[in-house]
Structure 1
Amino acid sequence: MLAILGGTGATWLSGLEVSRRLVVRTPYGEPSGPLVFGVLGDRPCVFLARHGYGHTIPPHRINYRANIWALAEQGVTGIVALASVGGIRSQLRPGVLVLPDQLLDYTWGRQHTFFDGSDRVVTHVDFTEPYDEALRKVLVQAAKRGRTSVVNGGVYACMQGPRLETAAEVRRVQRDGADMVGMTAMPEAALARERGVPYAMLAVVANRAAGLAESADSVNRADAAQVLALGMASAETLLKNM
C-alpha cells in the first residue's frame, strides 16, 4: 500500500475513494490529521495532509516525526510526497511537475530524527541519495504512460519558512546548486529513511523563486495559487497512472 503526503494545494485527493479514517497516536505526538484510507486508480493507498486538512499547520510546526511514524506503522511500501516549489532553474517554469533527486537543508529547530535520546544508540543513516531511486523510476514510468510531462531530477533547497525567500537567499542557494526552493522536504525525507520507507517527492512549480523572471520584484501569490491548482490536478493524474 502506497502512502501519499499532501502539501500546499493538495489537502485532499479528489479521485480518492475513501473507505475509512484512522486517528493515530504515536510516541511523538499526533500527526497532522487522521490517516485516510481508500482506493486511487484501483490501488489501495493512505493519504495524509501534512499541513492538516484545513491547511493550518505551517512548515516549521509540522510534526514530521509523528507523520512518518504513523504511516510507517501501517506498513506502507512507499511514500510519495506532494509539494509546491519555487523554480530557480530556467526549465522549472510555473506549472511544471518535477521529481527532485537531491536535497539541500537550510532548516533549523525542527525535530529531525528518531534517534534522539539517552535510551537509543546513536545511528547514522546513509543519505547519499535522499530520494528512493526505484520509487522515482515508477513515477517516471507512470508519467510516460499517462503522457504527463515531468522534469526528472533537480536539487531541492529546503528553507525554514513560513515566509517566502528573499532574492538574496535565492541567489545564495542557486550558487549552492539548488534548482528549486520549498519548505517541507526536510526532515521528512530523512525520517522516512530512518524508518526504512522508500520516499520520493512529486513537486509542482507554483512560481519562479524570488528575484527571478516574473518574480523579479515580488511573488504574485494569487497567480501562484491558480497555477498550483492546475499543477496538482496533473500530479493527481500521474498518481492514478502510477
Structure 2
Amino acid sequence: MTVYAIIGGTGLTQLDGLTITAALHLDTPYGAPSAPILKGEYAGHEVLFLARHGHPHRIPPHQVNYRANLWALREAGAKAIVAVNAVGGIHAAMATGRFCVPHQIIDYTSGREHTFYEGELEHVTHVDFGQPYDAELRNKLLDALHACGADFTDLGVYGCTQGPRLETVAEIARLERDGCDIVGMTGMPEAVLARELALPYACLALVVNPAAGKSGKAITMAAIERVLENGMSQVKTVLARVLTS
C-alpha cells in the first residue's frame, strides 16, 4: 500500500475522516524540516503531512529547507508525494480558481540548496529530470479532479521564481515567452530532490491570482486568501480520492 505524503499548508490535515496519530520531530543531515511531520490514517491508509512554510506559516519560499523536508518525509516512510501549490495564472486558460496539474517546470530560482549530490562524493551522479513529474501520480490527480467535477487543466508548464516578492510585468512577459503557463515560488528544488530520492512526485496547483500584468489590477494578499479559502475544500476532496485510489 502506497504511503502518500502531502506537502502544503496546515489546513490540509482537516480532512473528514482523517485521524492524526503522531507528530514526528525528525532531524536530518540537512537540519530540521519546516515543521513536524504529521502522521495520520484515512480510510485505512497511512498518510503523512508536512507544512512547507512551517506552522505557523512563517518561512518564506527562498528559505524553506527543501532538502530536510524531502529527506525527513522519506525517513518517515513516504513512498509518493503530492505537492499542493498556490500559483499565479499566466496563460489565458489558467483562470483564478482553476486547478492545474503541471507536466513540466522551468527553474528561475537561485541560491537554493538544490541537490543531495554535493560535497565529498565518491562519484558524480546525474538524475534524469526530463519528465519532472511522475506520470502515474499525475493521472491519479487528474482522475480525482474529474471525479470531483473540478475546473482544471491537465497540462501546464510551471515557472518557479525566487520570491518572496511577486514578479514584475516584464518578468511575467518573459516567463510567457519561455512557455510558462503558471508561476509559483516553491516548485523547485522540491521536485528534483524528490527525484533524487526516487520518490514519485506530482503537483496539484491552484491558481489564486492572475500573474502581474494579466488583469490590469494590483495583486493583493486579501484576494489571494479568499481564493485559497474557497479552493481548499476542493483540494481536500481531491486528496481524499487520491489517498484511497
TM-score by length of 2: 0.93
Could you tell me how far 1:147 is from its partner in structure 2? Answer: 2.6
Contact 2:24 2:38 in 1 (8 A): yes
Contact 1:11 1:51 in 2 (8 A): no
Q: Which residue of 1 aligns with 2:154?
A: 152
SS of 2:26's equivalent in the other structure is coil
Q: How many residues align?
A: 238
Q: Which residue of 2 aligns with 1:183?
A: 185
Q: CA RMSD in A?
A: 1.3
Q: Which residue of 2 aligns with 1:165?
A: 167
Q: Which residue of 1 aligns with 2:14?
A: 14
Separation (CA, whole Å) in 2 of partners of 1:41 and 1:179: 35
Contact 1:11 1:52 in 2 (8 A): no
Separation (CA, whole Å) in 2 of partners of 1:41 and 1:143: 19
Matched, 1:116 2:118: yes
SS of 1:186's equivalent in the other structure is coil
Separation (CA, whole Å) in 2 of partners of 1:38 and 1:151: 30
Contact 2:35 2:54 in 1 (8 A): yes
Q: Which residue of 1 aligns with 2:231?
A: 231
Match of 1:203 among 202, 205, 213: 205
**Matches of residues 34-73 of structure 1 in structure 2 within 5 Å?**
34-73=36-75
Contact 1:102 1:155 in 2 (8 A): yes
Q: Which residue of 2 aligns with 1:2?
A: 4
Partner deviation per Cα, 1:13-56 (whole Å, 9 max, x = no partner): 21132111110010000000111001235422000001001110
Could you tell me how far 1:100 is from its partner in structure 2? Answer: 0.6
Amino acid paired to 1:226 = R
Separation (CA, whole Å) in 1 of partners of 2:187 and 2:40: 25
Contact 2:12 2:236 in 1 (8 A): no
- Percent identity over the alignment is 48
Q: Which residue of 2 aligns with 1:133?
A: 135
Q: Which residue of 1 aligns with 2:219?
A: 219
Separation (CA, whole Å) in 2 of partners of 1:38 and 1:132: 24
Could you tell me how far 1:11 is from its partner in structure 2? Answer: 4.8
Amino acid paired to 1:167 = V
Q: Which residue of 2 aligns with 1:33?
A: 35
Amino acid paired to 1:173 = L
Could you tell me how far 1:120 is from its partner in structure 2? Answer: 4.2
TM-score by length of 1: 0.95
Could you tell me how far 1:141 is from its partner in structure 2? Answer: 1.4
Amino acid paired to 1:113 = T
SS of 2:7's equivalent in the other structure is strand
Which structure 2 residue ranges, 5 or more long, are not aligned?
none
Q: Which residue of 2 aligns with 1:23?
A: 25
Could you tell me how far 1:150 is from its partner in structure 2? Answer: 2.2
Stretch moving more, 37-46 or 109-118: 37-46
SS of 1:240's equivalent in the other structure is helix
SS of 2:188's equivalent in the other structure is helix
Separation (CA, whole Å) in 2 of partners of 1:101 and 1:68: 20
Which structure 1 residue ranges, 5 or more long, are not aligned?
none
Separation (CA, whole Å) in 1 of partners of 2:24 and 2:188: 25
- Displacement over 3 Å in runs of 4+: none
